[in-house]
Amino acid sequence: MADQLMDETTKQIILSAEPGLVISGAGLSVASGLPTFRGAGGLYADEPPPFLEYNYFLQHPEESWDGFIKLHDDLSSEVKPNKAHEAIVRLEEMGIIGFIITQNIDGFQQEAGSRNVIELHGSYSRVRCIECRHAIELKDYDELKNPNLRRCKQCSGLCKPDVTLFNEQIDESIVNASMSALHCCGFIVLIGTSAQVYPARHFIEMAKAARKPVININLESSGSLADYEILGKCEEILPQLVEEFQA
């Protein structure tokens, strides 16, 4: 039998608290075949391309759309949720996790079966008008190649994939939903994220100010951000934690 990942004291703190809030990042989906965005081995290890910047998109929409489609084509078409996503669903079903804020745009957590997911940076599964905010759900990612989606059928405004670009403001309703989840949760679990990017970093700072425990599950340490860390691969750690909580 594998060694216990979580000591009994921390386990009891979690079980006696209100349901927790997961804040997930790109490391969660690595085992699904998606590269991280930046860093060693990332899709854009140096600087991201200009089409991912909001003002550039406004000035060069057609070129940016070509970039969005190339980004889609650079990613594997066989990707799907992995054991880590499925373990989070089990923790939800057990009442240990109540809310999820994901910085990912792949939709894997919902596909795995999670319900209370806040997409902090949007999703590649939708196209949204930047004028009237009308959104269209895509049947599959290949629909992004449909040129008719580049203009809104409601107001003729400019559309883009419903993801937050650099220097684009996150929708206020998303921030409010995240703050509500933060207020209601009993603890925070960081999964596959360095937690250095705002507003996710701000949520963690607020949690610590409110004396809510912060647990980090990732390949790398979060330093002083976390009160407790389990370092390793999410897809290996989370299924074992499910077993430990079931014991």
Summarize pLDDT for 207-235 with one digit per residue, the tens: 999 999 999 999 988 888 899 999 999 99
Q: What's the confidence (pLDDT) of residue 85? A: 97
Q: Which two tokens stand for residue 54?
A: 């909001």
- Of 85, 121, 134, 202, the active-site residue reads 121
Task: Tell me the H-state helices in 30-129.
Answer: 54-59, 61-74, 83-93, 108-112
pLDDT digits (tens, 9 = 90+) for 77-100: 678 899 999 999 999 999 999 999
* Alpha-carbon distance values, 23 to 65, 66, 112, 149, 179 (Å): 29, 31, 16, 31, 12
pLDDT digits (tens, 9 = 90+) for 91-136: 999 999 999 999 998 889 999 999 999 999 998 889 999 999 999 9
Residue 169 to residues 166, 172, 186, Cα–Cα distance (Å): 8, 8, 28
Annotation marks residue 121 as catalytic: yes
The pLDDT of residue 142 is above 80: no
Inter-residue contact 124 to 141 (CB < 8 Å): yes
Domains parsed from the chain with CATH numbers? 1-34+80-121+170-247 (3.40.50.1220), 38-75+124-163 (3.30.1600.10)
Categorise residue 80: left if φ over 0, alpha if ψ from -120 to 50, beta otherwise: beta
**Quick one: DSSP state of residue 40?**
T
Q: Residue 39: pLDDT band by 50, 70, 90 thresholds?
A: low
The mean predicted confidence, pLDDT, of the chain is 89
What confidence score (pLDDT) does residue 1 get? Answer: 42
pLDDT digit string (tens) for 189-207?
999 998 888 888 899 999 9
Model pLDDT, residue 47: 74
Q: 151-193: per-residue pLDDT in tens?
A: 999 999 999 999 999 999 999 999 999 999 999 999 999 999 9
